[in-house]
Amino acid sequence: MKTNKSSQIGPPRFRIAVHILVQLAQGGTFLSSASIACAVNSHATFLRRILASLAQAGIVEAKEGREGGYGLKLPADQITLGEVYLALRSEETECKESNNEDCAQAEKIDHILGTIIEQADQQTIAYLRKYTIQDMMYSLK
């Protein structure tokens, strides 16, 4: 099944993050952002932002120095797609002009929509937690 950007659910960086984690799991060692970028066909600076989110979530670790780079902090069978999804969720923006009538309506709509999306998000996360990076690797064989 072919997918395009308009049909994707979740953070836009989710697919790249999963690809990065599969590369790290297959490599079994620390890889530089440049080598990961080459493997996933993306820019190293963009990947470092994703890797920073994954590191903050405790999924990957960064090692400095000549032999440094990025590596998995947990075994591939313990990293669920749900955890990756949670690590990359973007922060919601809030309307700052609460006196503005349009802003007040926007806040109400955002609250209602936020509740619906949060429920959908929870179901998505629960579903994604059924799959691990290890499962992704097995599916590639």
Please say if the pLDDT value at position 115 is more than 70: yes
pLDDT mean over 80-109: 73
Q: Is CATH 1.10.10.10 the classification given to domain 12-92+131-140?
A: yes
Q: Which residues contact 17 (CB under 8 A, 6 or more apart)?
A: 50, 53, 54, 84, 87, 88
Residue 124 DSSP symbol:
H
**pLDDT category, 106, cuts 50, 70, 90?**
confident
More confident: 40 or 100: 40
Inter-CA distances, 58 with 22, 52, 54, 63, Å = 16, 10, 6, 14
CA 15: distance to chain centroid? 7
**pLDDT category, 67, cuts 50, 70, 90?**
confident
Q: Which residues contact 85 (CB under 8 A, 6 or more apart)?
A: 10, 11, 14, 124, 125, 128
pLDDT mean over 57-67: 90
Q: Maximum distance among all alpha carbons in the chain?
A: 58
With beta carbons less than 8 A apart as the criterion, state whether 131 and 85 touch.
no
What are the tokens at 118? 């949060």
What average pLDDT is seen over the chain?
A: 84
As to burial, measured by CB atoms within 10 angstroms (0-12 exposed, 13-18 middle, 19+ buried), residue 102 is exposed
